[in-house]
């Protein structure tokens, strides 16, 4: 016959197994919760375009999963060379944690019991489980543990996540997960720092390119004037002397026919040299651009291009007056020159249509030819220095340039430059 004690053992055994199963189930659910947390933050980090939103999301999710009552984000300030608290908080409704937040904001907690500040000194995650009783003011009694994990970009501290809890301790797997989360967030910071550095490098290159363009234009103007004024005048004087000598043939014996032919040839060569000087000076810096303005300069150059190449140029002015600033005028004219040069060299076009005008906030110019059309690979070819120059000039002034080619149907160059372009670039 079974005794009462014998019947009791199976009951105890079943209760123990049930307790074990419940503990294992709870542990499994906790691990699943941690995995979900890691996946959510990893996804958010991959998609993040704003570090503040990512930090806010991560802080909320960590506190919800870990059941921590207070969390805060600190970021490193390069200008002040210190770790500074941010407005990114998670605070439960418990009054003692609200009081703790107020004291953290006022900086009234000793450094040795502020884990975020200790991270800066010790360079590693800080875990506090023995917050002393003398810190337990009546209004926030029961706060037992704290944890802070750093966010590193390479060997540089960029931020700290800090947490406080009324639980005596946190399990090791949760703290390990926090280290992984810090690594995920650090990748976003690293990406943003790289993007900022790249942006700054581009701005520096654009600024340098702008200064080089300005120096080049000033040098071109100086050389153009020297050629026009000095060499041009000398050739003109030589032409006058040759003309006077030919007109006074009585000074040359009639038997010297060879000398007369040489004079005629010298006169023709002088005419050619004068034309070459005018062309070179104009290409270096068309004085008409300074004297009469952009529209007249473009019309003149289009007529000259048509005369030299035989390619028909149709100029459509969408305004009767256009007075952009000096740098914008030069940029538009140089883009126009470079585009026509490309048309003559590569397009096999018969006609070029040019439209130029202005909108409410920008100047525009489009140049379309009916040639073979630029190929896509040519648009990104690093050897296409002319196209690179067009893009650089437009970017320097805060504008946009589109170059579109259609096989057998020609190429379109479309440029837009904002008014007050210098102010737009500085912003």
pLDDT computed for residue 99 by the predictor? 83
pLDDT computed for residue 10 by the predictor? 63
Percentage of residues in the chain having pLDDT higher than 90: 28
Q: How far apart, in Å, do the first and last CA atoms of the chain sit?
A: 96
pLDDT computed for residue 349 by the predictor? 92
Give residue limits of the domains in the chain: 20-198, 292-426
Residue 262: alpha-carbon gap to chain centroid: 63
Task: Return contacts of 39-42, CB within 8 angstroms, 24+ apart.
Answer: 41/181, 41/184, 41/185, 42/184
pLDDT at residue 250 above 70? no
pLDDT tens figures, 21-72: 666 666 677 778 888 888 888 888 888 888 999 999 999 999 988 888 999 9
Is the CA virtual torsion 8, 11, 12, 13 positive or negative? positive
Sheet holding 126-128, edge to edge: 82-91, 70-77, 156-165, 145-153, 126-128
pLDDT computed for residue 426 by the predictor? 44
Residue 180: alpha-carbon gap to chain centroid: 30
pLDDT computed for residue 132 by the predictor? 62
pLDDT tens figures, 334-375: 899 889 989 998 889 999 999 998 888 899 999 999 999 998
Q: Which CATH number fits domain 20-198: 3.30.565.10, 3.30.450.40, 3.30.1360.70, 3.40.1160.10?
A: 3.30.450.40
The DSSP secondary-structure symbol of 357 reads: E
Q: Is 127 helix (H, G, I), strand (E, B) or coil?
A: strand
pLDDT computed for residue 170 by the predictor? 67
The class of domain 292-426 in CATH terms is: alpha beta
The DSSP secondary-structure symbol of 250 reads: G
The rounded distance, in Å, linking the Cα atoms of 248 and 201 is 68
pLDDT tens figures, 158-200: 999 999 988 877 677 888 888 889 888 998 998 888 888 888 8
pLDDT tens figures, 108-150: 777 888 899 999 999 999 988 877 655 556 555 778 888 999 9
Mean pLDDT of the chain: 83
CB distance 340 to 354 below 8 Å: no
Residue, of 82 and 224, whose pLDDT is higher: 82
CB distance 268 to 243 below 8 Å: no
Residue, of 207 and 256, whose pLDDT is higher: 207
**pTM value surpassing 0.75:** no
Of 345, 61, 250, 156, give the one whose Cα is nearest residue 53.
Answer: 61
């Amino acid at each position: 016959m079974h005794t009462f004690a014998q019947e009791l053992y199976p009951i105890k055994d079943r209760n123990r197994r049930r307790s074990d199963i419940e503990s294992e189930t709870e542990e499994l659910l906790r691990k699943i919760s941690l995995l979900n947390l890691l996946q959510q933050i990893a996804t958010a980090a991959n998609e993040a375009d704003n570090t503040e939103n990512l930090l806010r999301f991560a802080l909320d999710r960590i506190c919800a999963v870990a059941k921590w009552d207070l969390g805060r984000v600190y970021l490193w300030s390069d200008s002040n060379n210190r770790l500074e608290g941010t407005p990114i908080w998670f605070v439960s409704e418990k009054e003692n944690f609200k009081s703790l937040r107020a004291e953290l904001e006022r900086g009234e907690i000793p450094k040795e019991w502020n884990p975020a500040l200790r991270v800066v000194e010790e360079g590693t995650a800080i875990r506090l489980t023995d917050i002393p009783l003398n810190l337990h003011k009546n209004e926030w009694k029961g706060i037992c543990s704290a944890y802070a994990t750093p966010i590193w970009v390479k060997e540089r501290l960029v931020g700290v996540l800090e947490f406080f809890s009324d639980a005596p301790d946190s399990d090791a797997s949760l703290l390990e997960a926090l280290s992984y989360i810090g690594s995920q967030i650090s990748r976003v910071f690293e990406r943003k720092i790289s993007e900022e550095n790249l942006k700054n490098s581009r701005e520096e290159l654009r600024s340098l390119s702008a200064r080089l363009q300005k120096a080049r234009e000033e040098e071109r103007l100086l050389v153009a004037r020297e050629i026009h004024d000095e060499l041009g005048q000398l050739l003109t004087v030589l032409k006058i002397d040759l003309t006077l000598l030919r007109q006074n043939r009585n000074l040359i014996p009639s038997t010297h026919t060879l000398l007369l032919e040489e004079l005629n040839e010298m006169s023709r060569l002088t005419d050619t040299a004068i034309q070459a000087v005018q062309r070179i000076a104009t290409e270096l810096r068309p004085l008409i651009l300074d004297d009469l303005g952009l529209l007249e300069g473009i019309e003149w150059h289009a007529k000259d291009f048509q005369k030299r190449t035989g390619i028909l140029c149709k100029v459509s002015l969408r305004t009767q007056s256009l007075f952009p600033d000096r740098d914008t005028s030069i940029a538009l004219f140089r883009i126009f020159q470079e585009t026509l040069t490309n048309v003559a060299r590569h397009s096999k076009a018969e006609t070029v249509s040019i439209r130029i005008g202005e909108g409410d906030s920008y100047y525009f110019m489009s140049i379309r030819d009916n040639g073979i059309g630029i190929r896509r690979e040519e648009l990104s070819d690093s050897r296409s220095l002319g196209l690179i120059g067009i893009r650089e000039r437009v970017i320097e002034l805060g504008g946009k340039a589109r170059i579109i080619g259609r096989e057998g149907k020609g190429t379109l160059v479309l440029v837009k430059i904002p008014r007050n372009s210098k102010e737009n670039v500085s912003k």
